Amino acid sequence: MSLFGCKKKRIPTLPPNVLFFLITEDGNRLPDSTLDNISLYYYENGKKISSPPSNLDDKKWVFPATRSSSDLAGKGVLCSGYIDWLVYGKNVNDFYLEYPNGDVDTMYVEVKYLGHEEGAKDRCYCAYPFTVVKFNGKDAPESVDPKSATGKPIYVFEKNL
């Protein structure tokens, strides 16, 4: 008697997408003292939400990219790992970045659901790639330098004074 085994096609479980961004002013990145103190928030039912959902372990929304991508250490790149989940899962598109001096900039983000099989082929290696990223109402271009070794885009947010 012979037994034949079938090899089921394995679909990977993908990590959440991470929004990498570089904030510049007059073409220069902001100082670390400012970057270290930027807060991210959004509104839900009129209430300002400035911390991640309790089921998620990070207590700071915006953090240096070095926590998730060591090739970006010291380059002024910030990131947030929950934007894709909020956009797709809660239909939140508008986010706000608040600076230590009280200044606030707006960020608008859209994602598309690809699924895990297609997402594994996408440059984001995620199920929910970013399709639209705007900063203060303008399309955010992708950085030419620095670049992420993972291939994920780094969006440039140019502050206008």
Give residue limits of the domains in the chain.
19-159
Predicted pLDDT at 9: 63
Predicted pLDDT at 151: 84
Mean pLDDT (whole number) for 10-39: 89
Please state, rounded to an integer, the average pLDDT across all residues of the chain: 86
Please write the tens of the pLDDT for every residue from 66-86: 766 778 888 999 998 888 888
Confidence of residue 52 (pLDDT cuts 50, 70, 90): confident
Q: Is the pLDDT score of 103 beyond 90?
A: yes
Predicted pLDDT at 68: 64
Q: Which of 28, 26, 155 is nearest to 97 (CA)?
A: 155
Question: What is the spatial distance between Cα 94 and Cα 87, in angstroms, rounded to a whole number?
Answer: 9
Predicted pLDDT at 161: 55
**Of the candidate ranges 36-40, 48-52, 104-108, 119-123, the one whose mean pLDDT is the lowest:** 48-52
Global pTM reads: 0.86
- Evaluate whether 159 touches 105 at the Cβ level (below 8 Å): yes
**Helix runs in 3-160, H state only:** 32-35, 83-90, 116-119
Residue 132 bridge partners (DSSP): 110
**Of the candidate ranges 6-20, 49-63, 95-109, the one whose mean pLDDT is the lowest:** 49-63
Question: What is the spatial distance between Cα 158 and Cα 22, in angstroms, rounded to a whole number?
Answer: 8
